[in-house]
Amino acid sequence: MSAPQLEIQLIAALVAVACALPGVFLVLRRMAMMSDAISHTVLLGIVLLFFVVRDLESPWLILGAAGMGVLTVVLVEVVNNTGLVKQDAAIGLVFPALFSLAVILISRFASGVHLDTDAVLLGELAFAPFERLTVLGIDLPKAVWVMGGIVLINLSLIAVFYKELKLATFDPALAAALGLAPAALHYGLMTMVSVTAVGAFESVGSVLVVALMVGPAAAARLLTDNLKRMLALSAGLGVVSAIGGYWLARGLDANIAGSMATVTGILFVVVLVLAPERGLVALAQRRARQRWEFAQAMLAIHLLNHEGRPDYDEESKVVHLQEHLRWTPDFAAGVVARALEGELVQHRNGNLELMEAGRELARQRLMH
Amino acid sequence: MTDLAIEITDLTVAYQDKPVLWDVDLAVPTATLMAIVGPNGAGKTTLIKAVLGLVKSAAGQVLIHGKAYAEQRHLVGYVPQRGSVDWDFPTSVLDVVTMGRYGELGWFKRPGKTEREAALEALAQVGMADYASRQISQLSGGQQQRTFLARALVQNAQLYFMDEPFQGVDATTERAIVDILKSLRAAGKTVVAVHHDLQTVPEYFDWVTLLNVRRIASGPVAEAFTEENLRLAYGGRVAFLSPHQHAPSEPAGGG
């Protein structure tokens, strides 16, 4: 591998981690679509600040963009608070307005500069290694410094405010009652998302920002019930998507950012299907197991109900289960076989008889 | 004055121009269990939220043990409605209970052994010791309510606000919660609870506030919980079985 190839993958991985960390909180707060809005409207911030400073390299652009991200959140809340429009619609109203304003401004007044709308959507990761910056004698692509810095900032903010972010996300009312300013944390988080979006979007474009904020976090949620592990998994899955996407792009000779987003999507589907406890396969297995368990409990309760009654002989014959419980012959045979194997029932003179475990099961199930 | 746990004067809360609470005065003595009752939309939850500063009041003053809430946060515990949080959040029962200590810890400090032990003790108090490491999405409604109660207990407050602590719990849990409320009162603490079951008011509480946007009545159950006041609060929607204290519960539940 050549140095630029390694550098591209490094940038992609840093972008993925930077996005995947705040993405966890967006997903848990059911604000995933806010990342879509912010990653587009930051462009307006960049354009407006560019008109002021006339320099695309200026760090002021990041501040302006972050401010526009927060303004997007505020505007969505204002529209939502009128009570006339729901939040999803409010997002759909606010961000296209701000984004299209940016597009018009660029095409009308800034068409000569390096600010084109294609790059906004998909980024220019392949060219990122050409733009270099030497810090402390180390020569690396500028994007590595920028995204590395954003990863560090996001990591330290989440580490320092972990407890507060957790409470403000789980129970904002208690957070407010305890004086742990959930509103300030909310806007702090939105600022983090905005800064991340600006940094990331230069390299990978706004579409991938959304994919990397939502995809890895949503997949991580399916893999763990622990917030810290969810953060780590989200970052890890982000890195896998980034590196995997790079190699997919090479294999297909396609756009890197697009390939990364594709791998993010594929990874999510794989997790959705195969996640150990929450995945679709695990779910189907659990349902099937529960169906058999429930049927065995039904059988035990049925036998218990008729125990000692004159109709017991009649009711406890396997063939009668089909008729009385309306089970198909195959299903009845399956249930009886499992109940026999689990020593819930035993055969006696052609009838089924409850064993101690079966009687206990029936009693337990009847109590609940 | 300081033997009053809560002193509310002229509290008015409005959403846009629609008043939700209209000029409410309230004085609750220390070491009482007070029920807030009233029909749906009477402003019961809003009253608690206004006291805790969670909704803005248009007018009025609230004193907690003689001072403003912001100065007395550490004295106040809060049990929100069970349905107000996402029980699918990735965390454990112990972690949720530990959150009750976050106020005392303040910013930046992390919960440690002391907090964990306090949380385990509170879980034992509510009969949930075996569930500490359980994922919260696996809890039943009653267990969720007990978890919330344990979280309030670790706040080690003097005054507790509970929004429908009996909502959706079974008889055993209800009994257990009542016992805990009574032990809080025995320890000199004050509890204010939004309550829906009118029948159990005299049995569970010793003080009651009847609310319907305005304060209809407030005082010891024997004085304030009268047929006439109930009729004023519920607007004749309550049919009375006996003329004294045993009114049936209101027709519909909810906020």
Tell me, what CATH number does A160's domain have?
Answer: 1.10.3470.10
pLDDT in tens, B169-186: 888 889 999 999 999 999
Domain termination site, one of A245, A278, A311: A278
A157 touches chain B (CB under 8 A): no
Residues A251 and A355 in one domain: no
Strands (E), chain B: 4-15, 18-29, 33-37, 59-64, 76-79, 159-163, 190-194, 207-212, 214-220
A132 touches chain B (CB under 8 A): no
Closest residue by Cα to residue A8 from A153, A154, A131: A131
Number of domains in chain A: 2
β pairing state of A138-141 and B4-15: unpaired
Q: How far is the CA of B75 from the CAs of A175, A359, B69, B71, in angstroms? A: 15, 52, 9, 9
With vertex at residue B238, the alpha carbon angle to CA B236 and CA B244, rounded to the nearest 5 degrees, is 105
Residues A84 and A61 in one domain: yes
Domain termination site, one of A278, A312, A332: A278
Write the DSSP symbol of residue B101: G
Residues A268 and A327 in one domain: no
A158 touches chain B (CB under 8 A): no
Closest residue by Cα to residue B90 from A174, A286, A169, A285: A169
Helix ranges, A112-181 (H): 117-122, 142-160, 162-170, 172-177
Residues A167 and A213 in one domain: yes
Residues A236 and A328 in one domain: no
Average pLDDT over residues A302-319: 78
Strand partners, A128: none
Q: How far is A223 from chain B (nearest CA, A)?
A: 10
CB-nearest partner of A167 from B70, B102, B135 = B102
Higher pLDDT, A232 or A65: A232
Partners of residue B49 in chain A, C-beta under 8 Å: 173
First CA to last CA distance, chain B: 32
Residues A111 and A163 in one domain: yes
B102 touches chain A (CB under 8 A): yes
Would the CB atoms of A180 and B103 count as touching at under 8 Å? yes
Residues A144 and A20 in one domain: yes
The range of the structural domain enclosing residue A102 comes to 3-278
Residues A90 and A126 in one domain: yes
With vertex at residue A93, the alpha carbon angle to CA A24 and CA A16, rounded to the nearest 5 degrees, is 25
| Cβ atoms within 10 Å, residue A101 | 15
Confidence band for B132, pLDDT divided at 50, 70 and 90: very high
**Token representation of residue A123:** 């980024």
User: Residue A330's domain is classified under what CATH number?
Assistant: 1.10.10.10
Higher pLDDT, A303 or B154: B154
Residues A264 and A296 in one domain: no
Amino acid identity at A22 = P
Residues A166 and A286 in one domain: no
Question: ipTM score here?
Answer: 0.85
The SS3 of residue B208 is strand
Residues A224 and A170 in one domain: yes
With vertex at residue A114, the alpha carbon angle to CA A198 and CA A241, rounded to the nearest 5 degrees, is 45
CB-nearest partner of A225 from B85, B90, B103 = B90
**Token representation of residue A11:** 């940038």
Confidence band for B245, pLDDT divided at 50, 70 and 90: very low
Q: Which of A26-40, A112-126, B35-49, B135-149 is predicted least confidently? A: A112-126
Domain termination site, one of A216, A243, A278: A278
Residues A263 and A361 in one domain: no
